[in-house]
Amino acid sequence: MKILAIAGCRNKDGKTAQAMEALLQGVPREGNQTESVFLPERKIDRCHQCEDDGWGRCRTEGLCEIVDDFAGLVDKVKQADALAFSTPVYFGDLSESLRAFLDRLRRTCSHEVGKKGLIEKPAVGICVAGGGGSGAPHCTVSLEKVLGECGLDVVDMIPVRKQNLDLKKTLLRTTGQWLAAYADERSVSD
């Protein structure tokens, strides 16, 4: 199984990265591969709303015409067996880098070509409120909505705040273990 983790944070030692790493640590090594992508390192522009009606080739062809790292990352997402999306909580919502990626992804999923390889793929969301600690539950609602619009099977959403990060790491490791087993089971029954 290949588990791909996509993080909307810049700090690779920060709380969001630690939470994501805990999930990946739970994935059994044997028979599984994991990879992490930090979105702020990638060039992912925001949607250009190409035509006057607000749509573009996303609607007619299931692809985005902006030339940047988006298409390569979408290929990685499609090749993975399970996904984990993590974000620091900003204003009770997703970080800008994750928002930019998912906003474009859900548009391409309005077309059959864009949807292919994403439908019913298991995905977990992790939202880490590292300031006062408020906003993580709201952020999970926002993340679940956009992941669902991409056609993914959102199997879990995990709100974390800095005060309970250590406790949640235990849960995240168990979730990583479960996610790999679930993706495996799913691929056998497909």
Considering only 51-59, 63-71, 88-96, 168-176, which stretch makes contact with ligand FMN by CB under 6 A?
Answer: 88-96
How many chain residues are in contact with ligand FMN, going by CB under 6 A?
A: 19
- Smaller CB distance to ligand FMN: residue 96 or 153? 96
Q: How many CB atoms lie within 10 A of CB 23?
A: 28
Instruction: Say if CB 19 and CB 126 are below 8 A apart.
Output: yes
Q: How far is the CB of 67 from ligand FMN (least distance, A)?
A: 28
CB of 135 to ligand FMN, least distance (A): 4
| Footprint on residues 118-137 left by ligand FMN (CB under 6 A) | 128-135
- Residue 40 CB, shortest distance to ligand FMN, in Å, is 10
Q: Residue 12 or residue 111: which is nearer to ligand FMN going by CB?
A: 12
Is 99 among the residues that bind ligand FMN (CB under 6 A)?
no
Question: Could you tell me how far CA 148 lies from the centroid of its own chain?
Answer: 11
* Burial class of residue 57 (count of CB atoms within 10 Å of its CB; 0-12, 13-18, 19+): middle
CB of 173 to ligand FMN, least distance (A): 18
* Three-class HEC string of 8-34: CCCCCCCHHHHHHHHHHHHCCCCCCEE
**According to the binding rule CB under 6 A, does residue 89 interact with ligand FMN?**
yes
| Three-class SS of 129-145 | ECCCCCCHHHHHHHHHH
Q: What minimum distance in Å lies between the beta carbon of 131 and ligand FMN?
A: 3
| Angle, vertex CA 85, rays to CA 101 and CA 80, nearest 5 | 90
Contact characters 16-45, ligand FMN, x per CB under 6 A: xx----------------------------
For 102-141, letters b (16+ CB in 10 Å) and e give: bebbbbbbebeebeeebeebbbbbbbbbbeebebbebbbe
Residues in touch with ligand FMN (CB under 6 A)? 9, 11, 14-17, 88-92, 128-135
